Chain A
């Protein structure tokens, strides 16, 4: 369907944005890359009074290295995650995730800020940010607020961001020596939202997992952190038996709903398969490196 009628306002500085937002009122929506928002408008899922275009806000752009942290501006496009040397060196999980998102023409416009603001439960980047223990940097006219990704995604398309806030950036801790990260998913067709996916990060010291964050997407109302499976791995070497224990523990962590793709039990099975592949991959890399 054609989009409903709406107004269009463009902000070129953050200062200007606050003024435009105040004038436009509560029914206006912010648009960045527009790759989710404009598709939902074509379905007439909402009828904003106006779209406030923030795509030219310089304050929200760029990827920068600050000590142990990478600051990724909210307007960073998926294609930039794919190509950035800083991302490849310090947050390779995000570089791995980007090619899984939709298709090249969409990755050329879709932004990381847009993806996390939209908070689709099957989206890759929210799960990665939870796995990496990233922090979402929000701004309102009165100041900044930092919200850990682990508490940012509240439910179906629901986040901790308030109506008077905007996402400025994401702070991602740089990958540590011994930290292993990977994202895997199963989709019916390349570029589709995943039927099930895993983003995970495991620190291995002296052959033993010292941290484990297994995060699943497409299997709940938000990214789901599997705590029981993580506990099954911590303090253990990545071996057939510890991997099997983690896979078994997923029954306590995940309760995927039935959906168009199939029953929840099938999704749980897929999560176990993906978990096995992810962890066996880390174990294989360690053997190859030894």
Chain B
């Protein structure tokens, strides 16, 4: 069985492993590194439960070859949580009951954080559009959009206050 050596950064820590080419990023994170916060859902790029960051951009972890990531920087929900950068978003998810069974939640948080970081908006249609690739089978979308909208409002008013 062919294996490929990769050396990358995961949540700021240097990681070196030998992986099978058929291993996708999510299995690599979950099985090789024990980072089980990212979820393997549909495993063909539809559900968004596996959303993580590679070199700052959100991606579908199930559509990325672990073997291709030599030199990359990966961030997962564990990293974002520990750094506290999405604490407000996580609080809002709890307050709004935006996590029901919780399966989609890490992916939702990664995608919502991407929106808030890069195109912060309280426009519900824009929030829904950005989250459109993340499925919640409890169908709790309303509460999720509420939570994202609230954090967008908070962050925008903080920014306005600071200016």
Contacts and interface: CB of A to CB of B under 8 A. Distances in A.
Interface of A: 1-8, 10, 31, 34-35, 38-39, 42-43, 50-51, 53, 55, 79, 102-106, 108-109, 189-191
A171 B73 CA distance: 33
Contact of A6 (B22, B48, B64): B22
B64 A191 contact: no
A27 B85 CA distance: 45
B90 interface: no
Given A8-B4, A109-B64, A190 B111 contact: no
A59 B45 CA distance: 28
Residue among B21, B67, B128, B130 having the largest count of chain A Cβ atoms under 10 Å: B21
Given A55-B68, A102-B133, A191-B133, A79 B57 contact: yes
Interface string B131-157: 011100000000000000000000000
Interface string B26-66: 00000000000000000111001001000001111011110
Contacts of B114: 104
B119 to A, nearest CB: 10
B59 to A, nearest CB: 5
A39 to B, nearest CB: 5
Contacts of B51: 105
B65 A104 contact: no
A53 B70 CA distance: 12
User: SS class of chain A's interface: helix, strand, loop or mixed?
Assistant: loop
A34 B24 CA distance: 11
Contact of A38 (B48, B57, B63): B63
Interface string B112-130: 0010000000000000111
21 contacts: A5-B1, A6-B22, A8-B67, A10-B68, A34-B63, A35-B60, A38-B62, A38-B64, A39-B44, A39-B63, A103-B48, A103-B133, A104-B114, A105-B59, A105-B111, A105-B133, A106-B63, A109-B60, A189-B132, A190-B128, A191-B132
A104 B130 contact: yes
B20 interface: yes
B102 to A, nearest CB: 20
Contacts of B59: 105, 108-109
Nearest to B67: A8
B2 interface: yes
A38 B46 CA distance: 12
Given A2-B43, A35-B45, A42-B44, A51 B60 contact: no
Contacts, number: 87
User: SS class of chain B's interface: helix, strand, loop or mixed?
Assistant: mixed
B65 A4 contact: no
Which 5 residue pairs across A and B have the least CB separation, nearest first?
A: A103-B133, A8-B21, A42-B44, A108-B57, A190-B132
Contacts of A31: 65, 68
Contact of A51 (B44, B65, B129): B65
A8 B64 CA distance: 13
Nearest to A110: B63
Nearest to B20: A5
A35 B68 contact: no
Contacts of A42: 43-45, 62
Contacts of A106: 45, 60, 63, 133
B88 to A, nearest CB: 21
A34 B132 contact: no
Nearest to A38: B63
B111 A7 contact: no
Given A6-B22, A10-B68, A108-B58, A103 B132 contact: yes
Contacts of B68: 8, 10, 31, 34, 53, 55
A10 B68 CA distance: 8
A197 to B, nearest CB: 17
A42 B114 CA distance: 26
